[in-house]
Structure 1
């Protein structure tokens, strides 16, 4: 039975449970009957026989009449007891202790002595894996000289071992290539599909393509093979880069493409994150060797007479130059991703590459004849072409990530004036490329709305300090940043950020299930969860700050006609200052979506971490 006391109860319709706030929850967050203990067959039959409609209304806000003082908790208990007649279930629920809010107890579920933030630190998704016993020095005896056994052991340690496992079958590799170009290349178009052919000079690129393509085969065996290819590929590149650098521009470009695609790989484990972070700067250095860090349109290098005389040759030459531009754009995109993910400054300092990327219609032309006709339309109808280029999604993606890199750089240097100027650029970008994007522009493969909101968020709040206050570096470090997070959560910027976080969730939630989310999707949703969690966890439990007394008329939302109060009500539930994180259905939906977000291992790592943070659940 539910206990009546002085605390206002609410019914969380998103979970089908009765909870009390602002204290700890009285039922598991999932709200499922199975979480209360095993039910016998008689109980299941009773529920099936009665045929009650347990479906929930699709409401954007929990009705506030359930949270008033007139709500009779005893009457609700009696109604539940009489209608279901399940005494065993009620007895189980009465004997279960309340599920404590891990942030309130500050303890782990293991031994009760570890601080909660230290538990979070151990399971943070970027935390390196603990070394095994093989990494320990076996010979602890001190020596003043080098003897022969030590020299032999050192020789063996210095030898670079590249795995020599045989590659999967040719059928497997061919299927991986097909899946790569069908599923991944549309969201990261850096390899020209119509002209790609396996060869000796692009062998590393081929393996990198197969590593990604294996994710979409739908089998655990395929993913396992792809992981082995990924790890073998990176070691092979590190072992052979001197040979490729000395060969020429095509080989360097192919190796750089292989490294770039490898960096965008699944990020299955923390050690993979560390590997790609270290490898990123090396790839940038390789690209500088082929001297493509220049901004000019690749089509300008192709003369109209050359196209008419030899369309195949002109097309091949154009593809090589365009792949170089997209290689740089892809590196810039990943540079912004890594800078935000690791709370570090970007590695690349470059001018905007927006004008250097050719349009989607030209890039996707399947033959030289189609490519030639696309260029002819551009040359002969400049006005019409300009209107088409405004809907170039990869160019827009690159331009928006360019702003994101500048915002991250300004945040690291604590330059508030630059942050404000970037907000103006973001509003201009939204007006030009997002607000007026019509259905004729085609599908938004890159979820630019979500990327725009997460970039705007980074200009409003310091992600690094929010993560530290949650426990990324442990209990002691978190205490230094709690005051910042609490002040932010009780400010207008806290409300503003919460609205952006909800809109990130809405944008990614609307993706078709068969559509692969873009590379930034796990990071964007992770940031949304971070903002919502800190907003709910650290804000005041009543409106003592006076924030709600002034209208929430933020400029970026006013232009789009977004009702901030309604979205905040969706986050807060009944009453404007109600639930803690583990009571929030919105936060629960975000974590669930993150777990199911495409094929990216990073998303599942982050979702597992947030389950520990929000619910105190063991990763096992």
Structure 2
């Protein structure tokens, strides 16, 4: 608290006055920090909780962690207090980033790690905020984390940092020291990789291209998630021995992912976190496709992206494996990226709102696609619309099963929203009741020239009867309940309500 107050006095008397009159106490800050580790950290593991120390953490990073944790504290005005703390951290970074980029904690792997982590969590809070001015900050600051990582030397340090995994019979002090070294390197790596994940989410939400070239990412893949979540050095050693990870640069991962022989050529074993990074790389390529209206030299084709998505599906999603929380998250994001390949949900929503005079509270940026003439009836009868609806229905099924503990993953609100927008666009032009097969063959769905209408029937056949307006209602309720802690869910639900009302009038 004293560090925060000193920071306020140096930056802004107004913020100082607001904080002193807000009733923020040490107990509130402790509760927020605890909720951050309890709810958000398991879904977005970038801070290593077992070795985390508040005394070794810069105030802006603590403020962003507290701001995110405030969303899960059930106290009056906790979210408003969180926004206030976020503004404080944002102001500190905006005015002092040059100083912060050269700071290095006692156990940090290199300079700038905490600044890059601060930017990651701060932009994550902004992206998922219902406050328009705060949300716009995520779009304006899009990509700064990569710049700070490079100027701080975090990319250059990647190949110079090594660690050894001691045996189980090693002395306790040796194991603990090795664990601390590994944790510092892995935290630095995840701070950068987290920005690649955030880059894809911002790109999808804003409708703008990615801010960096994911395919040339030289950072190595993250270690197994279970090892990162291990609470002791002994548990960490067990998890590392169990998985025997082979870390390689993501640039090499992408080379293999695009190969037609990926599934049969001993593909790299990726953690859930690393798979999400890979998916956001494909999302960045999809945003490039939506940005262009003609041939582009050196662009990755749609067929190549489809091949990569199906490769990931075969090796990381479809294979028989125990259902766990992270598997739900990974499958949900895979379907969302596929949906975005079929149609840009941000662009579709803007076009629907423009055509029907609806308010569009989520903002975003106009793309070249938006400038083209758009016929909703024609789109709803295209193969892209059918694919988008099939993936939207798959997302709905996953949301209905996802454990409450995992419902707060940062990408879930966008998945629900995109699904509802696609269903709404379909209902505004076509039938509201459809019949869908129990198992959708995704390879066939994306096969060029394949008749996919057979998987989305309009008459009463053997398929499961689906009423899309009821599905939209469920998605709207989901935004108000399981993802309600992310305040962006409120304007999302309002937009879905407007589109659903129009669709009901149409039918």
Aligned to 2:186, what secondary structure does the other structure show?
helix
Structure 2 contact 61–117 (Cα < 8 Å) conserved = yes
How far off its partner does 1:408 sit? 1.6
How far off its partner does 1:259 sit? 2.1
Match of 2:318 among 431, 435, 445: 435
In structure 2, the partner of 1:410 is 289
Render the CA deviation track for 1:124-175: whole Å, top value 9, x for unaligned: xxxxxxxxxxxxxxxxxxxxxxxxxxxxxxxxxxx96661113722222222
Distance in 1 (alpha carbons) for counterparts of 2:192 and 2:245: 29
Distance in 2 (alpha carbons) for counterparts of 1:424 and 1:458: 15
Q: Which moved more, 1:425-434 or 1:263-272?
A: 263-272
Match of 2:390 among 482, 496, 499: 499
Pair 1:260-2:124 in alignment:
no
Equivalences, count: 438
In structure 1, the partner of 2:206 is 342
Distance in 1 (alpha carbons) for counterparts of 2:401 and 2:156: 37
Distance in 2 (alpha carbons) for counterparts of 1:499 and 1:609: 21
How far off its partner does 1:524 sit? 1.1
In structure 2, the partner of 1:534 is 425
Query: Mapping of 1:510-549 within 5 angstroms?
Result: 510-539=401-430
Distance in 1 (alpha carbons) for counterparts of 2:386 and 2:188: 43
Instruction: Call closer, same or farther: CA 1:235–1:542 in 2, change over 3 Å.
Output: closer
Instruction: Call closer, same or farther: CA 1:553–1:372 in 2, change over 3 Å.
Output: closer
In structure 2, the partner of 1:280 is 142
Distance in 2 (alpha carbons) for counterparts of 1:354 and 1:244: 22
Instruction: Call closer, same or farther: CA 1:465–1:542 in 2, change over 3 Å.
Output: same
Instruction: Call closer, same or farther: CA 1:213–1:468 in 2, change over 3 Å.
Output: closer
Aligned to 2:326, what secondary structure does the other structure show?
coil
Match of 1:215 among 55, 71, 87: 71
Structure 1 contact 194–366 (Cα < 8 Å) conserved = yes
Structure 1 contact 295–355 (Cα < 8 Å) conserved = no
In structure 2, the partner of 1:604 is 490
Pair 1:290-2:152 in alignment:
yes
Render the CA deviation track for 1:268-298: whole Å, top value 9, x for unaligned: 3111111122223332221222233369689
Aligned to 1:301, what secondary structure does the other structure show?
coil
Structure 2 contact 120–194 (Cα < 8 Å) conserved = yes
Instruction: Call closer, same or farther: CA 1:186–1:353 in 2, change over 3 Å.
Output: farther
Aligned to 1:220, what secondary structure does the other structure show?
coil
Distance in 2 (alpha carbons) for counterparts of 1:235 and 1:359: 35
Aligned to 2:338, what secondary structure does the other structure show?
helix
How far off its partner does 1:332 sit? 0.5
Query: Mapping of 1:212-611 within 5 angstroms?
Result: 212-248=68-104, 250=108, 252-265=112-125, 266-293=128-155, 301-303=162-164, 310-350=174-214, 351-352=216-217, 355-376=220-241, 390=269, 392-414=271-293, 418-439=301-322, 442-444=324-326, 447-472=329-354, 483-539=374-430, 555-557=443-445, 568=456, 584-598=469-483, 599-611=485-497
Distance in 1 (alpha carbons) for counterparts of 2:28 and 2:175: 34
Aligned to 1:217, what secondary structure does the other structure show?
coil
How far off its partner does 1:428 sit? 0.9
Instruction: Call closer, same or farther: CA 1:311–1:423 in 2, change over 3 Å.
Output: same
Larger Rg: 1
Distance in 2 (alpha carbons) for counterparts of 1:503 and 1:381: 32
In structure 2, the partner of 1:170 is 26
Structure 2 contact 24–81 (Cα < 8 Å) conserved = yes
TM-score using structure 2 length: 0.75
Structure 2 regions of 5+ residues with no counterpart?
A: 1-10, 248-265, 359-365, 462-466
RMSD of equivalent CA atoms: 4.1
How far off its partner does 1:479 sit? 10
Structure 2 contact 203–210 (Cα < 8 Å) conserved = yes
Distance in 2 (alpha carbons) for counterparts of 1:381 and 1:495: 39
Render the CA deviation track for 1:487-540: whole Å, top value 9, x for unaligned: 221123322221111111111121234543311111111111111111121348
Structure 2 contact 103–112 (Cα < 8 Å) conserved = yes
How far off its partner does 1:211 sit? 0.9
How far off its partner does 1:375 sit? 4.0
Aligned to 1:444, what secondary structure does the other structure show?
helix
Q: Which moved more, 1:600-609 or 1:312-321?
A: 312-321
Structure 2 contact 129–487 (Cα < 8 Å) conserved = yes
Aligned to 1:357, what secondary structure does the other structure show?
coil
Aligned to 1:219, what secondary structure does the other structure show?
coil
Aligned to 1:186, what secondary structure does the other structure show?
coil
Structure 2 contact 34–69 (Cα < 8 Å) conserved = yes
Distance in 1 (alpha carbons) for counterparts of 2:335 and 2:319: 16
Structure 2 contact 200–280 (Cα < 8 Å) conserved = yes
Aligned to 2:54, what secondary structure does the other structure show?
coil
How far off its partner does 1:196 sit? 0.4
Instruction: Call closer, same or farther: CA 1:346–1:360 in 2, change over 3 Å.
Output: same
Distance in 1 (alpha carbons) for counterparts of 2:454 and 2:404: 27
Using CA pairs below 8 Å that are at least 6 residues apart, which structure has the higher relative contact order?
Answer: 1
In structure 2, the partner of 1:42 is none
Structure 2 contact 129–135 (Cα < 8 Å) conserved = yes
Aligned to 2:155, what secondary structure does the other structure show?
coil
Q: Which moved more, 1:191-200 or 1:160-169?
A: 160-169
Q: Which moved more, 1:352-361 or 1:484-493?
A: 352-361
Distance in 2 (alpha carbons) for counterparts of 1:438 and 1:514: 20
Distance in 2 (alpha carbons) for counterparts of 1:370 and 1:329: 24
